[in-house]
Structure 1
Amino acid sequence: MSTENTTQSAARERGADGVRLSAGDTELTVHPENGCRLGSLRVGGTELLRQGAKYGCFPMAPWCGRIDQGRFRNGGDVHQMPVNSPPHAIHGTGRNLHWRTARSSDAAAAFTYELADPAAPWPYPGTVTQLVELAEDGGSLTLTMGVEAAGDSFPAQAGWHPWFLRNLGAGEDVRIDFAAEWQEERGGDHLPTGRRITPRPGPWDDCFGMPSGVEVTLTWPGRLQLTVASRAEWVVVYDEQDEAVCVEPQSGPPNGLNTTPRLVTPIDPLEVSTTWSWRAL
Structure 2
Amino acid sequence: MATYADLKRENFQTTIDGKPVDLFTLRNRKGMVVRITNYGSKIEQILVPDRNGVLGDVVQGYDSIDGVMNGQASMGSFIGRYCGRIDQGRFTLDGVAHQASVNSPPNTLHGGQRGSRFRVFDARQIDESSLELTYVFQDGEEGFPGTLPLRLVYAVDDDNALTISWTAVAADKTTIANFTDHTFFNLSGDGGASILDHVATVRSDRYLALGDNAVPTGEMVPVAGTPHDFRSPTAFGARIGLPDRMLALGHGYDLHFVIDKPAGVLAPHALVLHPASGRTLEVSSTEPGLQVYTGNFLEGKTPRDVGKGGTLYQKHSGFCVEPSQFPNAVNIPSFPSTVLKPGQWYTGRIVYGFGVA
Q: TM-score range by the shorter chain?
A: 0.7 to 0.9
Q: Is 1:40 aligned to residue 45 of structure 2?
A: yes
2:328 is matched with which residue: 255, 258, 274?
Answer: 255
Identify if the C-alpha distance between structure 1 residues 56 and 155 changes in structure 2 by more than 3 Å, giving closer, same or farther. Answer: closer
Identify if the C-alpha distance between structure 1 residues 253 and 128 changes in structure 2 by more than 3 Å, giving closer, same or farther. Answer: same
Q: Is the 8 A contact 1:234 1:249 kept in 2?
A: yes
TM-score (structure 2 length as normaliser): 0.69
Secondary structure, counterpart of 1:244 in structure 2: coil
Residue of structure 2 equivalent to 1:50: 60
Q: Is the 8 A contact 1:175 1:219 kept in 2?
A: yes
Residue of structure 1 equivalent to 2:109: 90
**Deviations 1:144-185 (CA, angstroms, capped at 9, x unpaired):** 122211111222212222211264338983222113031111
Q: Is the 8 A contact 2:268 2:282 kept in 1?
A: no
Q: Is 1:189 aligned to residue 213 of structure 2?
A: yes
Q: Is 1:147 aligned to residue 168 of structure 2?
A: yes
Secondary structure, counterpart of 2:319 in structure 1: strand
Q: Is 1:244 aligned to residue 318 of structure 2?
A: yes
Higher strand share: 1
Q: Which runs of 5+ in 2 are unaligned?
A: 1-11, 15-19, 50-54, 63-67, 229-239, 241-252, 262-266, 297-314
Residue of structure 2 equivalent to 1:4: none
Q: Could you tell me the percent identity over the aligned residues?
A: 22
Alpha-carbon separation, structure 2, partners of 1:148 and 1:102 = 20
Counterpart amino acid of 2:86? Answer: I
1:208 is matched with which residue: 235, 257, 270?
Answer: 257
Q: Is the 8 A contact 2:60 2:184 kept in 1?
A: yes
Larger deviation: 195-204 or 79-88?
Answer: 195-204
Give structure 1 regions of 4+ aligned residues with deviation exceeding 6 angstroms.
12-16
**Deviations 1:71-130 (CA, angstroms, capped at 9, x unpaired):** 222121122111111111111221110000144310001111111188755321120111
Alpha-carbon separation, structure 1, partners of 2:140 and 2:256 = 31
Q: Is the 8 A contact 1:171 1:222 kept in 2?
A: no
Secondary structure, counterpart of 1:112 in structure 2: strand
Counterpart amino acid of 1:39? Answer: E
Q: Which runs of 5+ in 1 are unaligned?
A: 1-11
Q: Is the 8 A contact 2:43 2:76 kept in 1?
A: yes
Counterpart amino acid of 1:25? Answer: G
Alpha-carbon separation, structure 2, partners of 1:64 and 1:88 = 12
Q: Is 1:19 aligned to residue 93 of structure 2?
A: no
1:160 is matched with which residue: 170, 181, 194?
Answer: 181
Counterpart amino acid of 1:153? Answer: T
Alpha-carbon separation, structure 1, partners of 2:144 and 2:41 = 18
Alpha-carbon separation, structure 1, partners of 2:194 and 2:168 = 40
Residue of structure 2 equivalent to 1:273: 349
Counterpart amino acid of 2:118? Answer: N
Counterpart amino acid of 2:322? Answer: E
Residue of structure 2 equivalent to 1:5: none
CA RMSD of aligned residues (A): 2.4
Counterpart amino acid of 2:350? Answer: T
**Deviations 1:220-276 (CA, angstroms, capped at 9, x unpaired):** 1132011001121100111234211111100x2111122243222343211110111
